[in-house]
Amino acid sequence: MLFVHGPGGIGKTTLLLEMRARASAAGRITVLLDGSEIDPSPDGFSQAVETADAAHAAQDARAGGRRRGTVLLVDGYEQLGAIDGWMRQDFVPSLPAQDVVVLAGREPPAAAWRTDPGWRQVVAVHSLEHLDEVDSADLLARAGVAVPDRRRLLELGRGHPLALALLADAAQGGAVPIASPTHPT
């Protein structure tokens, strides 16, 4: 089990999409859920998982039944705080051992995920932080931002992936933003 957390726009959804692609390529069934679209109750969550899993099971059966376990990816986990205890005590323990669960949210996991002796051994917690200058510059370069414009965008973006992507998009459109005199970089 993996718990990923970080501020909005830091790349949690992008990370989950990449995990889904890699898990699918490895022959696993993937279920990606958005916590904001789920009723935060045990029944609501179970129904969302069952609906998504049923669609994948049907695809798997048509493909010859090569199912190797499910990777459950939950984005916006902060929206499901009301069922966090149920997730930890009932839902996740009921899953087959070969299944993988990734919870992604803006807040770190509740202390019980990290301090319970049993969970502590099987839960990895990863905080997503702002990009450093090298990774920020790489993001801008991959987005096609001209070398002369990168320094200014690095200062404006301050390592925030979403901000850097939006700035790169603006630069590609010919409008390289500049810092406001009232908001120095």
Q: State the pTM of this model.
A: 0.79
Q: Residue 179: which pLDDT band, with cuts at 50, 70 and 90?
A: low
Report the 10 Å Cβ neighbour count for 67. Answer: 16
SS3 assignment, position 16: helix
pLDDT in tens, 55-113: 766 656 655 555 578 999 999 999 999 999 999 999 999 999 999 999 999 999 999 99
DSSP-based helix, strand, coil % in the chain, nearest 5: 55, 15, 30
pLDDT in tens, 123-152: 999 999 999 999 999 999 999 998 888 888
Q: Are 180 and 155 in contact (CB under 8 A)?
A: no
In the chain, the N- to C-terminal Cα span, in Å, equals 39
Cα-based angle 162, 34, 15 (whole degrees, multiple of 5): 45
Residue-level pLDDT at 174: 77
| Average pLDDT, integer, range 152-172 | 88
Residue 2, φ and ψ in degrees, nearest 5: -125, 135
Report the 10 Å Cβ neighbour count for 171. Answer: 20
Kindly indicate whether the domain formed by 2-127 is annotated with CATH number 3.40.1160.10: no
Distance in angstroms (rounded) separating the CA atoms of residues 96 and 127: 26
pLDDT at 175 over 90: no
Q: What are the C-alpha distances in Å from 42 to residues 63, 80, 133?
A: 31, 10, 43
pLDDT in tens, 33-60: 999 999 999 999 999 998 887 776 665 6
Residue-level pLDDT at 59: 59
Distance in angstroms (rounded) separating the CA atoms of residues 109 and 92: 14
